[in-house]
Amino acid sequence: MRLCLCACTDTRTSVGASAHTRARAHTHTHTHTHTHTRSQPMAGMNGNLCISWMWCCRLSHLQSRLQDLLRGRVTFSALQLPHFKSSFPLAIHWHHTASKSLKCVWQQHEDHFELRYANTVMRFDYVWLRDHCRSASCYNSKTHQRSLDTASVDLGIQPKAVRLDETTLFFTWPDGHVTRYDLDWLVKNSYEGQKQKVIQPRILWNAEIYQKAQVPSVDFQSFLETKEGLKNFLQNFLLYGIAFVENVPPTQEHTEKLAERISLIRETIYGRMWYFTSDFSRGDTAYTKLALDRHTDTTYFQEPCGIQVFHCLKHEGTGGRTLLVDGFYAAEQVLQKAPEEFELLSQVPLKHEYIENVGECHNHMIGVGPVLNIYPWNKELYLIRYNNYDRAVINTVPYDIVHRWYTAHRTLTTELRRPENEFWVKLKPGRVLFIDNWRVLHGRESFTGYRQLCGCYLTRDDVLNTARLLGLQA
């Protein structure tokens, strides 16, 4: 059991920023308490004596109640001194939260509701609180969809009453509708709560870290036939951005079957399943025997492909190892060493393009976005768009920022090219590699001889959906 004593002045002051609040240009003092009735002093008593008498009675009552609390006779109590608006604006709350051992303090303001709970200070707009009501008339719990017409909510709405019952807040609105919120739900879904939450947990790595982790591959049959095998694979993939499946029959059909286990295949200008050799059948350096520097694919798409699958079906020659670099690890190094450059790379939009005129293939793709893409509320990096081959003319940046951008780009490139950050792997028939194209850069060394590869791109939403259905955070 823990007793929490808190003192708060609950004053709501009108604001004049908008028309709907100017009408309420007066000051409120709001308190939150359980009411305890006491007999009144006899008529004619002097005003000061009256107040003193009431204080003595009330303090005596509080002392008795406190003793009961300390003896364990009261399981929950919210006690407050009498409310004298003009003379005693200070409210004192007692909270007994033995079930969670957490203190809850809340305060109404003119334009928002402030809640302090679970070591988090949260602020909620009243329209937000009304809009997110989960009552049967406002939210369909079967379809998990909102039924309330958000446009029908008064933008100047305020609750008529607020009360706390154990760990549930109740808001009564002017039309009599009651919204209830569990305190933990508010913490989880508040802006302040989300700021502290990582959407997708990751383990950042360089070559040494990844090799020491000894991340296991998953067997083809286990991947296809068991939830455990699929879940283990996805867990590794989400954490490291790469994962392997072993003992796959070296055919395009089996590779396709493997990919469809976790996602729809994303059809692009390269087709659904792609199959290539070094015959330069497409206007891309990948269709040669040349070495490829580290890069992410399809930066020239407005939404780059999320996951790519590689399966080497045959190689009669030497070389051709695949290079893998954790782009998020490199970006983290930039953030630590030059945070202003990290910020610049996350703000400056660039164009990437793919122009192809080979045989019957004619394409001109353009994608726009910064090199580093972060969620604005928690600053979590979720996508790196890095491809020096496909970067178009830089004409989206003012001249006074261009040189700073080149400096920041050089810093990131230096981190990406550090030998200790390079993980080299030899692809071979039967071993299929999945790469998070939003995170891990890939490349290859030059090779000799005849080499066949097949693969595809996967829809990122579907891969993450499969992971969530298996209970993983994604």
Give me the percent of the chain exceeding a pLDDT of 70: 77
Grade residue 96 by pLDDT with cuts at 50, 70 and 90: very low
> pLDDT higher for 309 or 97?
309
Q: What are φ and ψ of residue 366, in 5° steps?
A: -135, 130
pLDDT of residue 276: 81
Asked which of 56-70, 109-123, 222-236 is least confident by mean pLDDT, the reply is 56-70
Ramachandran sector of residue 471 (left: φ over 0; alpha: ψ -120 to 50; beta: rest):
left
Rounded mean pLDDT of 344-354? 98
User: For residue 228, how many other CB atoms are within 10 A of its CB?
Assistant: 11
Q: Give the 3-state secondary structure of 59-118.
A: HHHHHHHHHHHHCCCCCCCCCCCCCECCCECCEEEEEECCCCCCCEEEEECCCEEEEEEC
Q: Are 160 and 166 in contact, with CB atoms under 8 Å apart?
A: no
pLDDT of residue 288: 79
pLDDT of residue 27: 37
At residue 46, does pLDDT exceed 70?
A: no
Give the separation between CA 464 and CA 433, rounded to whole angstroms: 17
Asked which of 106-115, 279-288, 309-318 is least confident by mean pLDDT, the reply is 279-288
Residue type, 263: S
Q: Are 202 and 228 in contact, with CB atoms under 8 Å apart?
A: no
Rounded mean pLDDT of 249-260? 98
Rounded mean pLDDT of 172-194? 97
At residue 91, does pLDDT exceed 50?
A: no
> pTM of this prediction?
0.76
- Average pLDDT, rounded, for the chain: 84
Rounded mean pLDDT of 23-52? 41
Give the separation between CA 184 and CA 316, rounded to whole angstroms: 60
Rounded mean pLDDT of 116-130? 97
Within 8 A by CB and 6+ apart from 340, the residues are none
Give me the percent of the chain exceeding a pLDDT of 90: 73
At residue 7, does pLDDT exceed 80?
A: no
Grade residue 59 by pLDDT with cuts at 50, 70 and 90: low
Q: Which pLDDT tens digit goes with each residue over 188-229?
A: 999 999 998 899 999 999 999 999 999 999 999 999 999 999
Give the separation between CA 33 and CA 90, rounded to whole angstroms: 13
Q: Are 199 and 379 in contact, with CB atoms under 8 Å apart?
A: no
Q: Which domains does the chain have, with CATH numbers?
A: 3-34+77-195 (3.30.2020.30), 207-469 (3.60.130.10)
Residue type, 300: Y
pLDDT of residue 283: 53
pLDDT of residue 266: 97
User: For residue 63, how many other CB atoms are within 10 A of its CB?
Assistant: 10
pLDDT of residue 18: 40
Question: For 214-316, where are the alpha helices, taking DSSP H only?
Answer: 220-225, 227-240, 252-260
pLDDT of residue 194: 93
Rounded mean pLDDT of 435-441? 99
Q: Are 271 and 414 in contact, with CB atoms under 8 Å apart?
A: no
Structure tokens that stand for 79 in this block: 């006690």
At 418 the three-state DSSP class reads coil
Residue type, 287: Y
Rounded mean pLDDT of 161-177? 96
Nearest to 96 by CA among 63, 124, 65, 64: 65
Rounded mean pLDDT of 84-106? 48
Asked which of 39-53, 171-185, 299-313 is least confident by mean pLDDT, the reply is 39-53
